Structure 1
Amino acid sequence: MRKSQKTNLDRSTSDTSALAVQNASSATGRRFSPLATAKLKQNLSWSTWAPAVITFVIAAALWQVTAIANPYVIPTIDQVWLSLINDADTYWKNMLVTGLEVLVGASSGIIAGFILAIIMAEFQIMERAIMPLVVVVMVTPIVAIAPALVVAFGFGMTPKFIVTALVVFFPMLVNSLAGLRDVDDRTLDVMKTLHASRWEIFRDLRFTGSMPYVFAGLRIALPLAIVGAAVAEFVAAGQQAGLGSLVTIAAAQANLPVTWASIALLCLMGVILISMLALVRKRVLWWSDGAAVGR
């Protein structure tokens, strides 16, 4: 009996997934490849997202039990939630400040890293000249650089932009450089045989082929941007707004709900960035994932 019920449930889930795929294909006007159809069915199935839900529920339960047993160490979930509701305006203003730091700093670091990767890929002498200096800067702990930048540029937004850009710069540079150099030799030989210009080789071969590496670098860099912004705010705590400053001030006052609510918002920002990146990647690299194909 149980086996029959399980079979019926699996069949129902499969039918629902198939209907969802059909509706998605009709709505977008695109024909999905068999691989893309299989992936979409898998993403819609209970077995795909149930483990994550169960893990979060268990983690929340353990958190709540620990908080009740140790009220002076961590707050309960309801205390954090009430803090978010009661002081929503304060959290929102500080979240916007941190978001601006991440936006400006990450954009600067990403653009600078990709441009320098292009220069190094095209001119190897530039890599030999610049890469040692880049490595020296990157192996220096950012928590040591941040105070020096605050002293040099003041307690405004500038040092926070620089710290965030530095944290993002290195993974973007390394991944982009690897992608620009990972070209198919046979394709390169064919393009040279056809007298393709250096620009055409870069545009049609190197740039396009580097995109999976670029997105891999972004997946590492974007969460690090939040880390960089928070570290810069820790150093300048009390001088400017930001979730990092809020964490430092609240922790100094032993205000646990505010401390953990700010940390939760920083985590939420990271999840939002990664989710947005995943959506963009599916649009840009549909050919890489075996997604939808043209009609």
Structure 2
Amino acid sequence: MSTPRTPSATRLRRRLSFLSPVWWGPAAVTLVVLGFAWQAAAHRWPYLLAPLDRIAESLRSQPGYFLTQAWTTLREALLGLGIGFVVAFALAILISELPVARRAIMPIAVVLNVTPLVAIAPALVVAFGFGPAPKLILTSLICFFPILINTAAGLRTVPLPVLQVYRSVDASRGEILRHLRIPSALPYVFAALQIVFPLSIIGAVVAELNAAGSSAGLGTTIQVATSMNHLSTVWAAIFVLALMGSLLLLLVTVVERRVLHWHESRQR
């Protein structure tokens, strides 16, 4: 008869599971296969893909340059995401508390979501100049809708029996919001963050590529390297962007597990 595992032993086993080849083996095999396929494709289409050794050489030869450009793009992405998150979270609370606000705000949010934001980048430059403002606005708009929709849905997804208990003790609307609605919405908020953190990198790069006056950032690096036919630099910048997006997604996942350790989804 097997000895039952204690909760602490189960948590330790889960934390160490990534050391097992069962966990990392399939990903490693996939990466190796993709690497060979990339090399073959790079020799077949040299004007489309750069060989991996040349990409690695570009990164090794100028690491400081790529770090500087990556920091510029990351700063724009996080600032834009922060602005979009604050505005979307506040509006989500408003539309969850006031039905009239929902009817007034949601149609505009839907129209904004289906608008090709890339097309308004030149107009943002005309309105706000050649500084970081157009990039921050564009990144914020790209991140806005997923946060608004997920947070609003989470704020409304409250167990009815629990809500009735709060109302039976004459809890105020603010107390219900602070102690019930917002904690219930946190899984939805983190689900939105898992989408918009990598999406903020895309938004910053799109803004750098389309907003005139960009002088730094990985989007500008790609644009300049493309015009000079430096294919290895282009793909090196794309690799850094992919790494940044993956690390941001990993960060959100780790924070989610820490914050939502009490949630039923983490007890399984």
Q: Which bin holds the TM-score, normalised by the shorter protein?
A: over 0.9
Alpha-carbon distance in 2 for matches of 1:162, 1:106 = 9
**Aligned twin of 2:214:** 239
Q: Return the match for 2:75 from 97, 100, 119.
A: 100
**Aligned twin of 1:164:** 139
Paired letter, 1:32: S
Paired letter, 1:265: V
Q: Which has the larger radius of gyration?
A: 1
Alpha-carbon distance in 1 for matches of 2:145, 2:115 = 12
Alpha-carbon distance in 2 for matches of 1:200, 1:238 = 48
SS in structure 2 opposite 1:138? helix
Alpha-carbon distance in 2 for matches of 1:180, 1:196 = 17
CA root-mean-square deviation = 2.0
Alpha-carbon distance in 2 for matches of 1:111, 1:140 = 21
Alpha-carbon distance in 2 for matches of 1:133, 1:240 = 33
What are the Cα deviations for residues 80-117 of structure 1, in whole angstroms up to 9, with x where unaligned? 01111112222122111101101110111111111110
**Aligned twin of 2:115:** 140
Equivalent positions of 1:120-269 (< 5 A) are: 120-236=95-211, 239-269=214-244
Q: Return the match for 1:32 from 8, 11, 15.
A: 8
Q: Is the 8 A contact 2:134 2:211 kept in 1?
A: no
Bigger drift between 81-90 and 40-49 goes to: 40-49
Q: Return the match for 1:85 from 31, 53, 60.
A: 60
Identity of aligned residues (%): 42
**Aligned twin of 1:286:** 261
Call closer, same or farther: CA 1:237–1:80 in 2, change over 3 Å: farther
**Aligned twin of 1:111:** 86
Alignment size in residue pairs: 263
Alpha-carbon distance in 2 for matches of 1:118, 1:134 = 14
**Aligned twin of 1:66:** 41
Alpha-carbon distance in 2 for matches of 1:236, 1:249 = 14
SS in structure 1 opposite 2:262? helix
SS in structure 2 opposite 1:32? helix
Give unpaired runs (5+ residues) of structure 1: 1-20, 23-30
Q: Is the 8 A contact 1:236 1:245 kept in 2?
A: no
**Aligned twin of 1:26:** none
Could you list the structure 1 runs, at least 4 aligned residues long, displaced by more than 6 angstroms after superposition.
none
Alpha-carbon distance in 2 for matches of 1:290, 1:43 = 17
Paired letter, 1:61: F
